[in-house]
Amino acid sequence: MKNRVTELFGIKYPLIQAGMVWCAPWELASVVSNAGGLGIIGAASMYPDVLRIHIQQCKKATDNSFAVNIPLLYPEVGKLMEIIVEEGVKIVFTSAGNPKVWTSFLKEKGVTVVHVVSSVKFAKKAEEVGVDAVVAEGFEAGGHNGREETTTMCLIPAIKQAISVPLIAAGGIATGETMLASMVLGAEGVQIGSRFAASKESSAHVNFKNAIVQAAEGDTKLTMKKLIPVRLIKNKFFQQVQVAENEGASMDELVQLLGSARAKKGMFEGDMDEGELEIGQVSAIINEIKPAAQIVNEIIEEYEEARQNLLSETFEIQG
């Protein structure tokens, strides 16, 4: 399949593995890239020197395109950007912040830049500052999320009408059917997080991978809306946040409750009670930890099968 997304990244399938916090090391990104998708190293949970090592290892492990995800609110974002340029990374996905400054910096160095948004307004702003493509992430996505709470089904068609650069859908996508549905809505590619968080090569703690596999429909919720909205598994920590929010907790009280290193504690260290467990609603249909290459292959095969099924339909238009 050739479209603007496969051309932009030089990849075989328009299937992108999200650069998730605590889950996306070079081991995962390189396998996805070798399987024909676009692997992304998640810098959010890495010190600058650690990121450098992951980039170097990824270059050794694949000759195919790969990318790095950089949250623009990262405290030493300038250091990460220096490493990107020094190591010759060709594609950067930015998120969680204003893309204005760093898009022009990266574009001047010849880097392809994609920005993650959750609303029409921010999609237009990203296009204005010159990004090469936009990832639109719906309300169902895991982790940090937008305030508009627009779902993938509504966000993709609305953004499609508003911008002309290629659009990549995220949130609720984990199978060939959900990938095909996203493409029908107007996306030219998909970014998949939760399914790869539960892959063999993910750096998540096995307890967290098991929690993803066990999660059923209704087991995650968007919370911390006064601070930065984040979708979490409804564990003990989540319940504490819920009680605080129901009682009208202030931002300061929520910051206190969140404390530091909650995400690491949960997703990387495996504390299923006190940790912050960021995952998408689509975890409901993820039922097994599999190697990432197998995940890519399965999704692409399901996609093609779902497409073929549509061909065999007969559908008569009423005269």
Q: Which of 48, 107, 149, 294 binds its own copies (CB under 8 A)?
A: 149
Binding segment toward its own copies, per CB under 8 A, in 23-31, 53-61, 85-93, 274-282:
274-282
Residues 203-232 that bind its own copies (CB under 8 A): 216-218, 221-222, 226
Site string for its own copies, 36-75 (x = CB under 8 A): x---------------------------------------
Q: Which of 171, 189, 193, 275 binds its own copies (CB under 8 A)?
A: 171
The alpha helices in 247-291, defined as continuous H runs, are 251-258, 262-263
Phi, psi torsion values for 247, nearest 5 degrees: -90, 10
The alpha helices in the chain, defined as continuous H runs, are 4-9, 26-34, 48-61, 77-86, 100-108, 120-128, 152-162, 176-185, 194-197, 206-214, 236-246, 251-258, 262-263, 292-311
Q: Residue 39 in contact with residue 62, Cβ under 8 Å?
A: yes
Size of interface with its own copies, in residues (CB under 8 A): 66
DSSP SS3 for 81: helix
Q: Residue 15 in contact with residue 296, Cβ under 8 Å?
A: yes
How many beta carbons lie within 10 A of that of residue 214, not counting itself? 12
Site string for its own copies, 229-268 (x = CB under 8 A): -----------------xxx--------------------
The answer to whether 314 contacts its own copies (rule: CB under 8 A) is yes
Residue whose C-alpha is closest to residue 152's, from 100, 193, 99: 193
What does the binding site for its own copies look like in residue numbers (CB under 8 A)?
Answer: 1-2, 12-13, 35-36, 119-121, 138-140, 148-155, 157-159, 161, 171-173, 175, 177-178, 180-186, 216-218, 221-222, 226, 246-248, 280-282, 284-285, 297, 300-301, 303-304, 306-307, 310-311, 313-318
